[in-house]
């Protein structure tokens, strides 16, 4: 294994070596490492980015695994800065407490707790909370908000330490983090050891079905190692002494699945939703190469159309900014070869201001500078937020500016 990354030879869910190429993306640096002006001379290594398909269990995943210390050591993302996510977590916490019927004052552990946004929702409901997260800045923020947090990567050894100190845990959550874990077997064994016999592990994660159906190209980056679907997940949990008792699709992050998992010793009955999701996936060909081939064709066609549009505008002397400075935007910049076609990026998160995009070093400024710099066009790379972005910047439109959407639809507003 190299210090920076290695390539797996087997599926991380079923250990089969029958894993084949699905969709090739452009190699990128770690997508969230936006650098300061002083760091510009430092070369940022690019790593392969390729969706792979396990022919045995149908799991969709990346096999090139970047060292987590590289990805998360200077991780800038904080949950509370993501538009709409704090409100989603408040509703999510309520739903979990209804299903689990947990007593007030019992402990909730959140793995990948980031700045503690979800755990604060549980605190509001009278629950004790404990976070686990490896990112130093996020942990610092969580602690400053009164959320006890362990700075570490979760594994089976840490699970034993938590149980020794706190006792059995009734609820363990992991939201948009299980997809980031390479050693999934050790992870879920730790969860099984941590929860009480009738406790719940609840996870939300990006959905492989939505990845293909909604063309979620910007969710493909080195942190996201697995794009889960229910069929391989169900089999994976059973192999580790757990059972998937409920699963359903939610709209978060362009399309995710929410899973309720318990020890196979629990008395809970598996709900029909699990088999219904599996049947739906099979009907859509998820777990086969067909969606991969369709996505490859979409990428080629969209890139050709987008570059023809942008190059035509630049030939007319027009200035073009990109809206969004995130890990997913890095994927799009490389995939569509956008770096030389954008004058700069604008964003709403002050943490990004004055920094430069990974590898390409496109400068990032506040979205308020749209009114000073007055670009002729703004390409919305943060496509999920296109509607609130345009609503917020009606004055930019009134002043003659124009927005372009590029992912779901290629459209000039």
Q: Residues 88-144: pLDDT tens digits? A: 889 899 999 999 988 888 999 999 999 999 999 999 999 999 999 988 888 999 999
Given a cut of 50, is residue 46 above it in pLDDT? yes
The H-assigned helical ranges of 240-289 are 272-283
Closest alpha carbon to 11 in 166, 171, 227, 172: 227
Strands (DSSP E) contained in 80-210 are 107-111, 128-133, 149-151, 169-175, 195-206
Domains of the chain: 79-283 (3.40.50.150), 290-412 (3.40.50.720)
Residue 112, sorted as left (phi over 0), alpha (psi -120 to 50) or beta, turns out to be left
Q: What is the pLDDT of residue 246?
A: 96
Q: What is the pLDDT of residue 413?
A: 84
- R_g of the chain, CA atoms, integer Å: 22
Q: How many CB atoms lie within 10 A of CB 283?
A: 8
Q: What is the pLDDT of residue 319?
A: 97
What band does 342 get if pLDDT is binned at 50, 70 and 90?
Answer: very high
Closest alpha carbon to 116 in 86, 147, 94, 74: 147
What band does 81 get if pLDDT is binned at 50, 70 and 90?
Answer: low
**What is the per-residue burial (b if ≥16 Cβ within 10 Å, else e) of 171-199?**
bbbbbbbbbbbbebbebbbbbbbbbeeeb
Given a cut of 90, is residue 343 above it in pLDDT? yes
Q: What is the pLDDT of residue 137?
A: 86
- Report DSSP letters for 298-317, one per residue: HHHHHHHHHHHHHHHHHHTT
Strands (DSSP E) contained in 207-338 are 226-227, 242-250, 256-263, 320-323
**Which are the contacts of 376, defined by CB distance < 8 A and separation ≥ 6?**
313, 318, 319, 320, 400, 401, 402
Q: What is the pLDDT of residue 193?
A: 93
Three-state SS at 34: coil
Report the DSSP pairing between strands 320-323 and 377-380.
parallel
**Which are the contacts of 79, defined by CB distance < 8 A and separation ≥ 6?**
85, 86, 89, 114, 115, 117, 118, 138
Q: How far apart are CA 62 and CA 377, in angstroms?
A: 34
Least confident of 74-88, 221-235, 387-401: 74-88
Give the containing element (helix H, strand E) for 295: helix 290-315
What is the C-alpha end-to-end distance of the chain, expressed in Å? 48
User: What pTM was computed for the model?
Assistant: 0.89
| Number of residues that make up the chain | 413
Beta bridge partners of 6: 65
- For residue 397, CA distances in Å to 182, 333, 341 come to 45, 24, 21
- What integer is the mean pLDDT of 31-60? 95
- Report yes or no: 214 and 255 within 8 Å, Cβ to Cβ: yes
**Which are the contacts of 387, defined by CB distance < 8 A and separation ≥ 6?**
none
- What integer is the mean pLDDT of 381-400? 93
DSSP state of 362: -
Give the residue with greater pLDDT, 96 vs 252.
96
Q: What is the pLDDT of residue 167?
A: 87
Q: What is the pLDDT of residue 76?
A: 52
- Report yes or no: 50 and 9 within 8 Å, Cβ to Cβ: no
Q: What is the pLDDT of residue 48?
A: 96
Report the DSSP pairing between strands 128-133 and 149-151.
parallel
**What is the per-residue burial (b if ≥16 Cβ within 10 Å, else e) of 125-157?**
eebbbbbbbbbebbbebbeeeebebbeebbebe
Q: What is the pLDDT of residue 253?
A: 79
């Amino acid at each position: 294994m190299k210090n920076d990354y290695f390539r797996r030879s087997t599926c991380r869910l079923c250990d089969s070596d029958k894993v084949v190429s699905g969709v090739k993306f452009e190699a990128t640096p770690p997508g969230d490492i936006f650098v300061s002006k002083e760091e510009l001379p430092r070369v940022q290594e690019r790593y392969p980015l390729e969706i792979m398909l396990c022919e045995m269990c149908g799991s969709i995943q990346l096999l090139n695994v970047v060292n987590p210390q590289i990805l998360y050591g200077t991780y800038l993302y904080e949950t509370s800065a993501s538009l709409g996510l704090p409100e989603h977590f408040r509703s999510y916490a309520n739903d979990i407490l209804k299903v689990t019927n947990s007593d007030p004052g019992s402990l909730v552990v959140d793995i990948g707790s980031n700045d503690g946004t979800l755990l604060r929702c549980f605190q509001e409901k009278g629950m004790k909370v404990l976070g686990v997260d490896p990112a130093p800045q996020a942990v610092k923020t969580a602690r400053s908000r009164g959320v006890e947090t362990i700075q570490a990567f979760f594994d089976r050894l840490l699970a034993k330490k938590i149980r020794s100190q706190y006792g059995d845990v009734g609820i363990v959550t992991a939201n948009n983090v299980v997809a980031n874990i390479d050693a999934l077997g050790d992870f879920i064994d730790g969860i099984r050891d941590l929860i009480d016999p009738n406790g719940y592990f609840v996870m939300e994660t990006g959905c492989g079905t939505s990845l293909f159906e909604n063309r979620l190209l910007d969710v493909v980056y080195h942190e996201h190692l697995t794009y889960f679907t229910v069929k391989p997940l169900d089999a994976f949990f059973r192999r580790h002494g757990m059972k998937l008792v409920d699963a359903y699709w939610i709209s978060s992050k362009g399309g995710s699945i929410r899973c309720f998992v318990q020890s196979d010793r629990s008395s809970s009955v598996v709900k029909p939703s699990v088999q219904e999701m599996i049947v739906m996936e099979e009907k859509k060909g998820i777990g086969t190469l067909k969606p991969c081939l369709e996505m490859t064709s979409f990428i080629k066609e969209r890139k050709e159309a987008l570059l023809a549009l942008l190059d035509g505008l630049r030939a007319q002397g027009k200035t073009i900014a990109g809206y969004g400075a995130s890990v997913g935007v890095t994927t799009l910049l490389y995939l569509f070869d956008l770096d030389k076609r954008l004058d700069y990026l604008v964003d709403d998160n002050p943490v990004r201001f004055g920094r430069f995009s990974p590898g390409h070093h496109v400068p990032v400024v506040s979205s308020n500078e749209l009114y000073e710099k007055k670009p002729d066009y703004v390409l919305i790379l943060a496509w999920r937020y296109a509607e609130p972005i345009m609503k917020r910047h009606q004055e930019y439109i009134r002043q003659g500016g124009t927005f372009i959407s590029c992912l779901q639809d290629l459209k000039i507003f």
